[in-house]
Amino acid sequence: MSAPGQISVSPSRRGLIAGCWAALPVLLAVAPFGLIFGTLATEAGFDLAQTMAFTSLVVAGASQLAALQLMSDGAPALVAIIAGAVVNLRMAMYSAAIAVHWQGLRMAWRIPAAFFLHDQAFALSLNRYRAHPDESVADRAGFYFGIGVTTVTVWIGASWLGAEIGTRIPAGWGLDFAAPACFIGVAAPMIRGTANVIAALTAATLAVVLAGLPGGSGLIVAAAAGIAAGMIAGRRTARRAAPAMEPAE
């Protein structure tokens, strides 16, 4: 372990190997999602270089699909970028939560680490850190890099395969439902508790009602209203759950 304030830690090989193993089950989700992205990007008119640059540089499937969808609908580039970035805002939360566990990790490792802070890398790492609170920062960082390198390699490979063979998939295989199915797959496990349900229903309803607003701005308004509704509902639930804080009636 490093002394407080010392910034010299690098990921350990032991952690890296543990992370590679831990990533294996997640690849079952990463590979099909990448395959679908490669296929849909190619169908939308991306050439191979564009598909591969997109998937290798962004490494965030839901935002890539969201931007792709808006571009196919004829939205300007800036709107597609903003919508994709909004989808990825949750990663600021991941960044704050995971940084706490990396005290002393060298900047030379933090720069590549940020590159693949996706849902699965975050969730698997945090579970590991909570289960093994005494593990060194070197092992923790190694574990994270093991997951990241494994998942990103498969993600890029699967996207390439989708771009190469995806357009030969027959029409009856339901490819036009692949994007909504992926989005629902990502979102559904996160919707837990009353406040989240209220937030999700508010955003979904408003997004349908406001779909006619120009340049995809209905999406932003719907999401903002959903966030506000969720926060209000969440605070009410928290108050009810802590009756000791309420004055006696």
- Site residues for other proteins, 56-95, by CB under 8 A, read 57-60, 62-64, 66-67, 69, 71-72, 74, 76-78, 80-81, 84-95
Q: How far is 60 from 63, CA to CA, in rounded Å?
A: 6
Q: How far is 19 from 8, CA to CA, in rounded Å?
A: 21
138: number of CA atoms within 13 Å, CB side?
9
According to CB under 8 A, which residues from 25 to 44 bind other proteins? 28-29, 32-33, 44
Angle at 33 between CA 30 and CA 39, to 5 degrees: 135
Q: Which stretch binds other proteins (CB under 8 A): 16-24, 45-53, 126-134, 153-161?
A: 45-53
Residue of 1, 48, 53, 165 that binds other proteins (CB under 8 A): 53
For residue 99, the minimal CB distance to other proteins (Å) is 5
According to CB under 8 A, which residues from 211 to 240 bind other proteins? 211-212, 218-219, 222-223, 226-227, 230-231, 234
Question: Which positions ≥6 away from 76 have C-beta within 8 Å?
Answer: 215
Assess 241 for contact with other proteins (CB under 8 A).
no
For residue 102, the minimal CB distance to other proteins (Å) is 7
According to CB under 8 A, which residues from 136 to 195 bind other proteins? 172-174, 177-191, 195
Assess 201 for contact with other proteins (CB under 8 A).
yes
Q: How far is 158 from 40, CA to CA, in rounded Å?
A: 13
3-state secondary structure 114-138: HHCCCHHHHHHHHHHHHHCCCCCHH
At 9, is the secondary structure helix, strand, or coil? strand
For residue 248, the minimal CB distance to other proteins (Å) is 27
Assess 108 for contact with other proteins (CB under 8 A).
no
Residue of 16, 113, 137, 152 that binds other proteins (CB under 8 A): 113
Smaller CB separation from other proteins, 241 or 248: 241
Q: How far is 207 from 222, CA to CA, in rounded Å?
A: 5
Q: How far is 12 from 137, CA to CA, in rounded Å?
A: 9
